[in-house]
Amino acid sequence: MKEQTIFPREEKAEALFQKILNDHWACEKLQETFCNCLFCNDDSDAGISPAEFSLALFNAYTNRDISAFLMGICQNTLFDLLRNSFLIPYRFDADGKQNPVIMTDENGQLLPAYKGTAHETEYRHFHEVYKDLGNQKNIYFAQAYRYSHEYQSDYMDVKQKILEKNMGVLLIRELPDTVKEKETEAEAYSAVWDLMIELEKNLPMAYVFYGQDSLVENNNRYDEIGIFLPNSIFLKNLERHVAKAEEIIYGEK
């Protein structure tokens, strides 16, 4: 029988997995996320029927697809678990859905589409901080969300599930183009892993985004990494948090 996984299997992920295994903090985060997501440890509706659970289990066995089974027991693929443990980045605009949504221009001005909305109060706080920053390049007011995946029918179709949505500050940095080096996405995650973990250990619960070969400037393509600081966590002392993020992602001391 032909193997058919629900998501394309990530190639050459061994180096990434080894980095995680070498970091006790990272292993603890991964185990904690998995245990918190297990439906059997949740008093709420499990969100999957016995028939769907059984089908996920048998499909996983037949297709050697761990993500199919993880979807059945915790509504996360393997790489969802890594993302929601803050051990790898979220993809920019994953599954064709805009995420994050940038709401200001290159000068920190609120874009016309977002004027007069409920977010304007939060924007004013962002702008007070923004105008006093020494380096304003690639810093935006934005909205972003964390996500996993879930089955949406008896046919085991998969859809993106929003876990948490926030307004906040987004910083973006250009990185070398890993596509030119013929690196897979998992290898690219491994390449930025040290930076990612430094961000998460200094700014816990910040969302890190990554796009492989996704940034175009002057007809050249680059990878890009973004760090999103949710207002729900970082609004207090926002200027200090932005400065710390800049220090890390721009390599400043």
Domain locations in the chain as residue ranges: 14-249
pTM of full prediction above 0.85: no
- How do residues 193-232 score in pLDDT, each as one tens digit? 888 899 999 999 899 998 876 656 666 667 888 999 998 8
Banded pLDDT at 237 (limits 50, 70, 90): confident
User: Residue 6: its pLDDT value, please?
Assistant: 60
From CA 190, how far away is CA 122, in angstroms rounded? 35
Statement: residue 8 has pLDDT above 50: yes
What sign has the CA pseudo-torsion 31, 225, 178, 146? positive
User: Residue 253: its pLDDT value, please?
Assistant: 47
User: Residue 252: its pLDDT value, please?
Assistant: 57
- How do residues 72-131 score in pLDDT, each as one tens digit? 788 888 899 999 999 999 989 988 899 999 999 999 999 988 887 767 788 888 888 888
